[in-house]
Every structure is written in structure tokens, then in C-alpha cells.
Structure 1
Amino acid sequence: MMSKFCKKCGTELNDDAKFCTSCGERMEQEVVVRSNITGNSFPGISKRSIPLAIILSIVTCAIYTLYWEVKLTDEMNKLLGKTNATSGVMALIYTIITCGIYGIYWLYKMGQNVDEVKGKTGDTGILYLILGFIGLGIIPLALIQDTINDKLDGVY
């Protein structure tokens, strides 16, 4: 059986819907069809090239990194169905307001989310926290992106 979903917010829609009942997005050319049998497709989440993201982060003097962190946060929240979790934009604002302290906490929480996506209990959050403390914060970003890419490929 096939279902129709809003590409913007992921809400399931009637086949004849012209607009999303949740966000109001126009449905012409804006739908994602997902099989209820496989469940491997996630509306609004796309794979990202990790080497390209790292190169863009370096070339833009970390400006792309800020965008990447926002996207990772929002995509992880969608994967886990955390509708009331802190959005990527708010996480970025909190990081700026706290001069980076929230960013360290964010790494820890994202590590816990990675463990949740993989269906295991572990200390990934502590690993990401340590990498952030020693100035290697781009490594957790790459690992988080790898987890999202793997989830979209149906690995987990």
C-alpha cells in the first residue's frame, strides 16, 4: 500500500489533497510517496555528502558548519519523531548566546540521539563531548551525518 506525504513537514495526506493539512504547503509537485511496507523513506530528510560538507565547512570558514548543525538537528528530530525537541535554529541561537557552551551540550545530546537511531545504548554522547572539547567538533558532525545517511539507506 502506498501513502502520500507532505514533502515539507511529512504529514500523511489524502491522495486528492491540494494542500497540506498541517503546514499549508501546496501539494503540486510537493509530495513524497513512501511505501508502508518498507518504511525506509523519510520525508524532508536527504542524504548529504560528508566529504563535501567538510570541504564547504573549511572553505567558508565554518559558516557552512552552522547550517549543517541546524540541518542535522532538524533531521535527527524528524528521524526520531521528536516534535517538541529543540529546533536547529534554536540550538544555534542558544549556542551563540552561551558563547559555545550549548554547542558542547548539543554534541552530547546528538550522540545520545545517534545511539537511539542505531537502537543501542552506548556512550556516543560522551565521545562527541570529548571530541568537541579538544577542538575536533567536525568529526561528530560527520559521524551524525553518516548515521542519518545509513538510516535513509535502511541500514538500521
Structure 2
Amino acid sequence: MENPKPLTRDFEINVALGIILSIITCGLYNIYWNYKQFEAMNKLLGREEYKFWPWLILSILTCGLYHVYYEYKMGAELQRYLKERGVEITPNLCLAGMIFAFIGLTVISDAVYQYELNRLCG
């Protein structure tokens, strides 16, 4: 039987604290938050799908457009993972994440994704 909580508590981040720290640090904490989410997603998927340094460099070079793509990609993978395991999830998770990121509210995307990741922490 598959583990219903495949992530350890090391991957759990308090969503409210993540939002507050991201705002207080003018987004610097959000970069770290993305790093932690990449680690969690790689653990869930069992492969190195999300790589921090290429994401950071390409996000800077494209003025954030690559980050919008990555938010969509991460949401789609997370949605697929949860759906395959029969976990109830918002049907438009990836689209919502991409839209929030596109309009500059990436911290909201990260909060929603973190909420879903926290549900998988045991």
C-alpha cells in the first residue's frame, strides 16, 4: 500500500508565515520557498524535475515569464499526482497558479501549492 503521507515534516512550511516573510523580505523569502517546493516536488515525483539554479537564472533573464511557466508546470504535476492517488483537489489548480504568477501574485500560487504539499506531509 502506498504511503498516504509521502513527504516528511521537513517539507512542511507554514503558509501564513511564508506569505508574511515573502512580503517583509520583498520576495527574497519567496525564492527560498520555491527552492523548498522544488525539493518537495522532486521527492514526490521520484526524479529531478525541478532544478533551482536554471529556474532562477531563466526567471531573471525572462523578467519572470519563465517563472510563470514553472508555476503552471508545478501545479499541473501536483494536480496529476494528487488526482492519481484519489485526493480531492481543485480542478484548475495549475491554471490558477499560472494566472496568479502572471499578474504578480506568485506568493498566492506558492501558498496554494504549499497547502497541497503540506497535506502530503506526515
TM bin (shorter chain): 0.7 to 0.9
The SS at the match of 1:42 is: coil
Q: CA RMSD, aligned part only?
A: 2.4
- Higher-RCO chain (CA-CA 8 Å, sequence separation at least 6): 2
Q: Which residue matches 2:34?
A: 69
**Segments of 4+ moved more than 6 angstroms:** none
Q: Normalising to structure 2: TM-score of the pair?
A: 0.81
Structure 2: segments with no counterpart, 5+ residues: none
Of 54, 58, 68, the residue aligned with 2:19 is 54
Q: Normalising to structure 1: TM-score of the pair?
A: 0.65
Which string of whole-angstrom CA distances, capped at 9 and with x for unpartnered residues, describes residues 76-97 of structure 1? 11112123x1312321122112
The SS at the match of 2:50 is: coil
Amino acid at match of 1:139: I
Structure 1: segments with no counterpart, 5+ residues: 1-35
1:71–1:88 CA contact under 8 A, matched in 2: no
Q: Point out the structure with max Rg over C-alpha.
A: 1
2:68–2:101 CA contact under 8 A, matched in 1: yes
| Number of equivalenced pairs | 117
Structure with higher helix content: 2
Identity of aligned residues (%): 33
